[in-house]
Amino acid sequence: MPAVTQNVQTMTPQDSAPRTPPAAQTGATAPSKRYVELDGLRGIAALCAVLYHYTDRASRLSPALQLFRHILNISPAAMDMFFILSGFLIGGILLKTMQSPNYYKTFYVRRFFRIIPIYYLWIAIFGITAYLAPSVRQALPKGYTLQMVIGAYLIFIQNFASPVLRVIWLEATWSLAVEEHFYLFMPACMRHFSLKHLVQGLVAVIVVSPALRGVLSLLLRLDGTDSGWWAVYGWTISRVDALALGVLLSIAWVNPKAKNWIHQQIRWVYWSMAGLFAFSAMFEYFTMKEIRHTQALTDGFGRSAVELFSLCLLVIALVNEGKPSTAFMRWGWLRQIGKISYCVYLTHWGIFWAVLTFGFHARAGLDVRVDLIAGALALALTLALSELSWTYLEGPMVKRSHRYSY
């Protein structure tokens, strides 16, 4: 999940002569304003993710919950929205600061203060709990020590090893690893390539990714293990196209002509959403009914349909800023959840496990009623903890990070 709270020159690879930054090439500067609708979108995505995870095991016992999860799978406001939002917001920040002499230093220092302290603290709490509670240690993957599991999460490789090192307390952090990998290469790409080459590269990633996921599905899903499924779902190369879509939108949004063209085409964006919904629903139906010979297509193009669906919703939020059609995205409580969404996403699964284990002496997926009651209590505790985290840890860390200017 993205930990971005901001809303929104280059050098050639061949020589050291300064090149006009992409933002300047478009005839505009990257936006510095904050789009409050995006906070609401992030809040919706966080709630969808929490509900999806809380109903994971219980859905095996309830057809209604199964249907609910299938709907969330094709919704434009779940994990794919997180990635596209991150691409858009980080792309905007990088475009705006392209000429800064502190470009790399400030970017990575601010990312560190925003992401690492609470993340490492949560891993430490997990480690202490696992050390003290035999039930937690017994749930660790066979053949792996606590130190090995924690080490994988500390260096952000869990999204590659998740099926093996799957720990419910930290399971949701696979998407954070994807974003950390994105942060490693995107600033250099933005700074060292011309706008033309950058756009070409982003488009290439978006076009090639469906075929790549399809190939991975064919090659790795044959044995029916979780490793094959996870390669298509959680590996960075399988998700980077969503981040590329966000960056591409950020480049278009700072170009007055491109931005105006998007405004003029908003009617077609709505029609596209309708078509993409139908397309996504078709692939989800293939999965739900386990129709043979469709899995590679679903993994490849079904994921792209959901990503484009999410992109359309983001465009609608930007174009209709301040209008009645996006009023729900500006609801105060929803924006507040968006503000604290990093901690919500990071801690919600561990808190759910703790409530079930210590409060109900049960495991997920045994009783639907218990899971639902525990989920409601865990969500309340998660929101409360996240508010405290923002007030006393994350908020102060963000303020401290802004001592480092571009």
What string of pLDDT tens digits covers the 406 residues of the chain? 556 555 543 333 333 334 445 544 544 444 456 789 999 999 999 999 999 999 999 999 999 999 999 999 999 887 899 999 999 999 999 999 998 999 999 999 999 999 999 999 999 999 998 888 777 777 777 778 888 889 999 999 999 886 667 788 898 999 999 999 999 999 999 999 999 999 999 999 999 999 999 999 988 876 656 667 888 999 999 999 999 999 999 999 999 999 999 999 999 999 999 999 999 999 999 988 889 889 999 999 999 999 999 999 999 999 999 999 999 999 999 999 999 999 999 999 999 999 998 899 998 999 999 999 999 999 999 999 999 999 999 999 999 999 999 9
Q: How far is CA 222 from CA 24, 182, 219, 225, 317, in A?
A: 49, 29, 6, 8, 40
Q: Which residue has the tokens 């919703």?
A: 313
- Supply the pLDDT for residue 16: 35
Calpha distance 122→320 (Å, rounded):
38
Which positions ≥6 away from 21 have C-beta within 8 Å? 9, 10, 95, 98, 99
Output the pLDDT for position 17.
Answer: 39
Please report, for the chain, the start and end positions of each structural domain, with discontinuous segments joined by +: 10-401
Residue 281 CA to its chain's centroid (Å):
21
pLDDT for the residue 222: 63
Q: What pLDDT sits at residue 49?
A: 94
Nearest to 198 by CA among 14, 22, 17: 22
3-state helix, strand and coil shares in percent for the chain, rounded to the nearest 5: 75, 0, 25
The pLDDT value recorded for residue 2 is: 55
Measured CA to CA, the distance from residue 203 to residue 129 in angstroms comes to 45
pLDDT (0 to 100) of residue 175: 95
> Residue 359's closest CA among 384, 372, 378?
378
Give me the pLDDT at residue 9, please: 34
Rounded to whole angstroms, the Cα distance separating 9 from 22 reads 7
Q: Is 183 exposed, middle or buried (0-12, 13-18, 19+ CB in 10 A)?
A: middle
Q: The tokens of 180 are what?
A: 């950390």
- In angstroms, rounded to a whole number, what is the distance separating the alpha carbons of residues 352 and 359? 10
First to last CA, the chain: 25
DSSP letters of 194-234? Answer: -HHHHHHHHHHHHHHHHHHHHHHHHHHSTT--HHHHHHHHH
CA distance linking residue 284 with residue 323, whole number of Å = 32
Q: Which of 385, 334, 390, 394 is nearest to 355 (CA)?
A: 385
